[in-house]
Amino acid sequence: MKHHKQLEVWKRSVALAGAIYSATRDFPPEEKYGLTSQMCRAAVSIPSNIAEGAARHTVKEFIHFLHISSGSASELDTQIEIARLINMGNQKSLLEAQQELSQISRMLKGLIRSLEKSR
């Protein structure tokens, strides 16, 4: 297995986490412990679970953590959708983040499929 820092999906998800932190800076202060916090945690969870899975000893464990990462991506997608629906923050930044998240989700699914075939 590759080191997580060599995986394109990890690199892109780290960049996405940074973009989410930037996008949520403009959210209302009362959302600091609400949607802002949830979005940042979900965004950080994506590359964190990729890294943790890549450090495991078996492909089965790696796949498990990639599924968790994929779940966090779905959670973040929902949170971005809610933020966009209620016109919170910079809509252009949120749309761009959501589009990048869609690509990352596809990459995760492809990596899972590839690893499952190799078992």
Q: Which whole number is the average pLDDT over 25-51?
A: 96
Which pTM was predicted?
0.95
- CA dist., res. 86 & res. 44, Å (int): 23
Quote the distance between the C-alpha of residue 80 and its chain's center: 11
Count the Cβ atoms, other than its own, within 10 Å of residue 96. Answer: 14
Range of the domain at 107: 4-118
- CA dist., res. 34 & res. 13, Å (int): 22
Over residues 20-35, the pLDDT tens digits come to 999 999 999 999 999 9
Number of domains in the chain: 1
Tell me, what amino acid is at 53? G
CATH number for the domain spanning 40: value is 1.20.1440.60
